[in-house]
């Protein structure tokens, strides 16, 4: 395989199945090194910038810990405390950062923003989540599937909820490229765009996977290896559409009845953060307004599947480390 040095990771659409598997193999090696406390700081002297226009816990911590483990320094840029977007365009900011840093992570709004950074920075740029895609999340998800089942190929992954956004889109791309059977279960209006489905169907044909859309959640999860969901309202979407989302998506909540339809050894995954109780400001507020105990997943399911959910969260760090290492020329 040709080196990935110098490449951006804006979406998994730009990567071959072989390249995606390379990231996953490298992530597994890094995970072992970390567990064995073997230093792997071969990128000493490099610097990375982390630009977050939206909040983050996992992605930011993953980039920071991974950068430090690799021997790099990182600088966090919060738009509130920088010129980005207010006094300086994304293109000019990217040109500046590209002169100082060896790689740039960006989390924000439209995909065109991360593409603009990649165009003007001339160093590897990593998408830490846009409205359309969240590629590093999907690497962690597939790594988790590999850990639980040995191999991701041929596994049935059912995604319930709003499948038109970053997680639904990216999961469909990743599953199609790696030969999983990807099933969306949602009302028709929440299916991914027909254009993206058509692209993914081609990759699924090549990999032996498949793409299916179903409005019937019970039928969709029959025999699933993995049941996956995400929040019903993503960062940046207006709170006034909560009522509409609760009305449209409540039938697609992951409950124990849903999990019973999946295979006996099925796992539940969630990119997190999740609304499964009232232990957050928003959860409490939504609970009061709509008189609901949870949203996309019940607390019963969440607590029963904590292992797979938090393995997945941990794997964010190992996979992000692999992405930075491979694109910055880490010699394996």
Catalytic residue among 74, 116, 175, 271: 271
For residue 230, indicate whether it is catalytic.
Answer: yes
For residue 311, indicate whether it is catalytic.
Answer: no
Dist. CA 148–CA 244, nearest whole Å: 36
Site stretch for ligand NVA (CB under 6 A), options 74-82, 165-173, 286-294, 322-330: 165-173
Catalytic residue among 107, 181, 276, 318: 107
- The 127-166 contact track toward ligand CP, x by CB under 6 A, reads --x-------x-----------------------------
For residue 83, indicate whether it is catalytic.
Answer: no
Nearer to ligand NVA (CB atom), residue 152 or residue 230: 230
Question: What end-to-end distance do the CA atoms of the chain give, in Å?
Answer: 13
Q: Which two tokens stand for residue 206?
A: 């090549």
Nearer to ligand CP (CB atom), residue 228 or residue 330: 228
Nearer to ligand CP (CB atom), residue 59 or residue 146: 59
Residue 57 interacts with ligand CP (CB under 6 A): yes or no:
yes
Dist. CA 61–CA 23, nearest whole Å: 19
Minimum CB separation of residue 319 from ligand CP in Å reads: 12
Nearer to ligand NVA (CB atom), residue 161 or residue 179: 161
Site stretch for ligand CP (CB under 6 A), options 23-31, 52-60, 115-123, 199-207: 52-60
Pick one of 167, 184, 220, 266: the residue that binds ligand NVA (CB under 6 A).
Answer: 167
Contact between 227 and 160 under an 8 Å Cβ cutoff? The reply is: yes
Q: Which does 166 bind (CB under 5 to 8 A by kind): ligand CP, ligand NVA, none?
A: ligand NVA
For residue 181, indicate whether it is catalytic.
Answer: no
Residue 251 interacts with ligand CP (CB under 6 A): yes or no:
no
For residue 134, indicate whether it is catalytic.
Answer: yes
Q: Which residues are annotated as catalytic?
A: 107, 134, 137, 230, 271, 316
Positions that interact with ligand CP (CB under 6 A): 56-59, 129, 137, 271-272
Positions that interact with ligand NVA (CB under 6 A): 129, 165-167, 230-231, 234-235, 271
């Amino acid at each position: 395989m040709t080196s990935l040095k110098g490449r951006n990771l804006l979406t998994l659409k730009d990567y071959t199945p072989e390249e995606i598997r390379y990231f996953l193999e490298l992530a597994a090696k890094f995970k072992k090194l970390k567990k064995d406390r073997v230093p792997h700081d071969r990128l000493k002297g490099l610097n990375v910038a982390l630009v977050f226009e939206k909040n983050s816990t996992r992605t930011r911590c993953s980039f920071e810990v991974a950068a430090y483990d690799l021997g790099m320094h990182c600088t966090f840029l919060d738009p509130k405390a920088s010129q980005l977007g207010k006094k300086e365009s994304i293109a000019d900011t990217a040109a500046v950062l590209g002169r100082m840093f060896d790689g740039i992570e960006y989390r924000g709004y439209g995909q065109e923003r991360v593409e603009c950074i990649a165009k003007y920075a001339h160093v590897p740029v990593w998408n830490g989540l846009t409205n359309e895609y969240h590629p590093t999340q999907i690497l962690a998800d597939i790594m988790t599937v590999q850990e639980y089942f040995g191999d991701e190929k041929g596994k049935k992954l059912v995604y319930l909820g709003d499948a038109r956004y970053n997680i639904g889109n990216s999961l469909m791309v990743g599953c199609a490229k790696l030969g999983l059977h990807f099933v969306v279960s949602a009302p028709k209006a929440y299916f991914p765009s027909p254009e993206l489905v058509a692209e993914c169907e081609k990759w699924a044909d090549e990999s032996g996977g498949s793409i299916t859309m179903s409005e019937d959640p019970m039928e969709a999860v029959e025999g699933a290896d993995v049941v996956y969901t995400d929040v019903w309202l993503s960062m940046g979407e207006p709170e006034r559409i909560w009522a509409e989302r609760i009305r449209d998506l409540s039938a697609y909540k992951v409950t124990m009845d849903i999990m019973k339809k999946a295979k006996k050894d099925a796992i539940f995954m969630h990119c997190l953060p999740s609304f499964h109780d009232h232990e957050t400001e928003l959860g409490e507020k939504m609970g009061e307004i709509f008189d609901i105990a949870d949203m996309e997943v019940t607390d019963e399911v969440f607590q029963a599947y904590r292992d797979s959910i938090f393995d997945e969260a941990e794997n964010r760090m190992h996979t992000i480390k692999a992405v930075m290492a491979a694109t910055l020329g880490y010699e394996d």
